[in-house]
Structure 1
Amino acid sequence: MGMKNKLAAALLAIFLGDFGAHKFYLGKPGTGLIYLLFFWTGIPAVIGVIEGIIYLLSSEEDFQRKYSKRY
């Protein structure tokens, strides 16, 4: 699986978070599917923006520890 790009995950969360794109990218397809099923409510979009900001504010080390399989 390897290391994940923090900026890519953040941009996916902010711009495509309502469809769960960032969750699929981070290897969490189950959560991504839930976002996709409920995109019409707008709630996943709001959560996606919040998660994107959290990704950007986290240190590279913390992000990799949480989302990479190799770290």
Structure 2
Amino acid sequence: MAKNPPAPTFTLQAAAPVKPGLWQAHRHQVLSVLALTVGFLLGTHANDSTNAAEQRPPHTTTVSSHDGR
């Protein structure tokens, strides 16, 4: 008579962890560099809009030949 194979043992421990791939291991570094680059580009272009807000439009300037009479 043949022996029955042993029953599988169930434990609460997880199986051996799988080694992460290149993207999974370094994605936080890639996303950090991407975020810093986008922030830098937005920051360097944001200064151009403040100069335009300080200048008055040409139609609101006073005419020097008008003496107010």
TM-score by length of 2: 0.24
Q: Which entry has the higher C-alpha Rg, 1 or 2?
A: 2
Higher RCO (C-alpha under 8 Å, 6+ residues apart)? 1
TM-score by length of 1: 0.23
